[in-house]
Amino acid sequence: MQFVGPMTFEEAIQKIGERSPIGSAMMSAEWADVPVALRERAFFSSQVESLRFLQRARDQISDYLAGARETLPGQTALKAGSRSVFVDQMRKFAKSEGMGPLAPEDEHGLKDITSERRLGLIFNTQTQQAGDYGYWRQGMDPDVLNEFPAQRFVRVQAVKQEREAHVPFENQVYLKTDPIWEKRINQDFGVPWGPWGWGCGHDVEDVDRDATEEAGLLKSGEKVKPQLRSFNEGLEASTETLDPDLVEKLKADLGEQLVVDDEAGTMSWAPAAVPVPAVRENAVSEAITVQAPGVLGEDMDAALAAIDRVHDDGRLPDLEAKTSKQSSYGYFRMAPAADGAGIEADHIGVRNTGPWPTFTMTHETGHFLDLEGIGAKGTFATSGGDPDMKRVLEAAEKTDAIKSLRSRLEETTSEDGRAYLRYLLKPQEIWARAYSQFIAKRSGFKALERDLKKALEAEKDRQWESGDFGVLEQAIEGMMRKLGWL
């Protein structure tokens, strides 16, 4: 059943709205082991553990189906007005949550939760499931069922690889109440409504009373009893027919989200508990306005979201972050202070063709904090003798990475090489690199973790190996606690 606008019937809206967001690292094949009664009441996506992402995606699709509206300047619009809007909004949200492909080779593919392909698949599957469920429920209305008691399994879209299991059923007619729909045709989802399988190009069309009787599926005047399913039927599932090893595996994979009552022999979903992000009194993202368009802007926003997850900022002045056209990966620009005394932050620039733009954004934000957030404003804490920053830099000098850079400086004869090493050993640069690595580690953002890995692989001692970073990480944490940022 194809549709291009929001559904209006309540069944479709209810189906999405009453699903519990369930986060898990399980793959699609493992989700197939979850009893249908529970799987139908879960809003999940393969290998997605973030409940906040799933909650947001479910609510966006519910808004779309319900035609929920919001007032914008001069107009009223759907909150989630289309597939493309959903993809755009959820990509930004996923990046702000630090989500991304599990491996570089998965980028832009179905394993990348920020890709158009993956987000489009989530939108298509969820809206189709909701719509097809609503269509099935309406088809079970006694009057509708009497007039159209059967349906035909038809191909509506060409697919790359046809399912052999579906070939015998193509163009065949069965009563809507025939268990063949869930037992044999829809083996992927185990329900009598579509979609009829992952990547399936089939749908159903109604068959009227006369054609049904002519096909010998009903006698003249014979009534068909509706087989309605209430959503409450799926509140729990029996464990009696499940292999005990499978039950234990589901317990391990789903954790506290799954409640198993061994005495009653049932399992059910626990009440949804979507984690609430920490509330920041003075979030860094409130001070920095990202002006860069497209993917670079999303990467820069993701960096700020990672920073917000880790610490407060100490009341920073407003600053713009924009696209850089310079050869360097990024820069932090200063200007004479308005009162003519000292300097102040002017803006941050990040090159959109750099190898790690998200990591670069955290690096340049580190410079901003150095000047405007730590110690006396208008003076770099790294060169102004701030005692807390001094302890951080002393910790850095004890690391193998900094010792190695100093040894290389002594051994290098090339003036260009020496100039570059002196640049890396500037207190401001040591701090900014350490700060960006601290955020990458503490935030848990996959994009930053990947960027850190790239930086480690690109150049020896540019960043710190995990075991070498410990003492420096502790020093940064200590300084931030004294500042009241943690």
Angle at 370 between CA 368 and CA 371, to 5 degrees: 70
pLDDT interval class at 187 (50, 70, 90): confident
pLDDT interval class at 424 (50, 70, 90): very high
Least confident segment among 67-76, 110-119, 162-171: 67-76
- The mean pLDDT value for 415-427 works out to 95
Q: What amino acid occupies position 465?
A: E
- The mean pLDDT value for 367-378 works out to 92
Global model pTM greater than 0.85: no
DSSP assignment of 387-446: HHHHHHHHHHHTSHHHHHHHHHHHH---HHHHHHHHHHTSHHHHHHHHHHHHHHHHH--H
User: How many whole angstroms separate alpha carbon 247 and alpha carbon 38?
Assistant: 13
User: How much is the mean pLDDT over the chain?
Assistant: 84
pLDDT interval class at 350 (50, 70, 90): very high
Per-residue pLDDT at 159 exceeds 90: no
Place of tokens 């094949």: 29
Do 51 and 275 touch, CB atoms closer than 8 A?
yes
pLDDT of 21: 84
Distance of CA 297 to the CA centre of its chain: 17
Angle between helices 10-17 and 116-139 (to 10 degrees): 130
Do 192 and 135 touch, CB atoms closer than 8 A?
no
Angle between helices 415-424 and 427-443 (to 10 degrees): 60
Q: Which two tokens stand for residue 181?
A: 């729909």
User: How many whole angstroms separate alpha carbon 187 and alpha carbon 203?
Assistant: 14
**Strand (E) positions, 208-262?**
236-238, 258-261
Radius of gyration of the chain (CA): 29
User: How many whole angstroms separate alpha carbon 104 and alpha carbon 88?
Assistant: 21
Per-residue pLDDT at 97 exceeds 80: no
Q: What amino acid occupies position 336?
A: P
Angle between helices 427-443 and 446-458 (to 10 degrees): 140
Per-residue pLDDT at 6 exceeds 50: no
Least confident segment among 254-268, 297-311, 324-338: 254-268
Place of tokens 């955020």: 439
Task: Provide the residue count of the chain.
Answer: 486
User: How many whole angstroms separate alpha carbon 228 and alpha carbon 223?
Assistant: 15
Do 479 and 485 touch, CB atoms closer than 8 A?
no
Give tens-digit pLDDT for 78-93.
455 678 888 888 888 8
User: How many whole angstroms separate alpha carbon 21 and alpha carbon 44?
Assistant: 6
Closest CA to 146 of 216, 230, 203, 220: 220
Q: Which two tokens stand for residue 242?
A: 């499940």
Per-residue pLDDT at 334 exceeds 70: yes
